[in-house]
Amino acid sequence: MKRIIHFMICLLSIFCLTSCFDVVEEINMKSNGSGTIQGTLNLSKSKTKVASLMKLDKIDGIQIPNQAEIRKEMAVIVNLLKNTPGISNVKQRLDFDNYIASISCDFQNVQALNAYTNTLSKHFKAKINSYSSYSYDAGSKTLKRNYKHSTEGKKEFEKLRPENRQSFGQAFYTSIYRFENLVAKQQNNLAKVSPNKKAVMLKVNIPDLINGKVDLTNTIVLK
H-type helices in 34-135, by residue range? 47-53, 67-82, 110-124
Q: Would you state the pLDDT for residue 3?
A: 37
Q: pTM for the full model?
A: 0.85
Residue 207's φ and ψ, nearest 5 degrees, are -60, -35
At position 55, the amino acid (one-letter code) is K
Residues 6+ apart with CB under 8 A from 145: 132, 133, 134, 175, 216, 217, 218, 219
Least confident interval from 5-19, 51-65, 75-89, 139-153: 5-19
User: How many Cα atoms occupy the beta-carbon half-sphere of 8 within 13 Å?
Assistant: 29
Residue 83 pLDDT > 80: yes
pLDDT of residue 121 exceeding 90: no
60 or 188, which is more confident? 188
- Which of the pair, 130 or 166, is modelled with greater confidence? 166
**Contact (Cβ atoms closer than 8 angstroms) between residue 22 and residue 45:** yes
When pLDDT is averaged across residues 39-50 and rounded to a whole number, the result is 84
Is 90 exceeded by the pLDDT of residue 90? yes
Q: What is the model's pLDDT at position 117?
A: 84
Give the mean pLDDT of 91-109.
93
Question: What's the confidence (pLDDT) of residue 110?
Answer: 95
Listed in order, strand segments (DSSP E) in 96-198 are 100-107, 132-137, 142-147, 172-179, 183-186, 192-193
DSSP-based three-state secondary structure for 13: helix
> What's the mean pLDDT in 10-19?
49
pLDDT digits (tens, 9 = 90+) for 136-190: 999 999 999 999 887 777 777 777 677 667 767 788 999 999 999 999 999 999 9
Q: How far apart are the first and last CA of the chain?
A: 36
Does residue 27 contact residue 20 with C-beta atoms inside 8 Å? no
pLDDT at 108: 97
The predicted structure's pLDDT at residue 62: 62
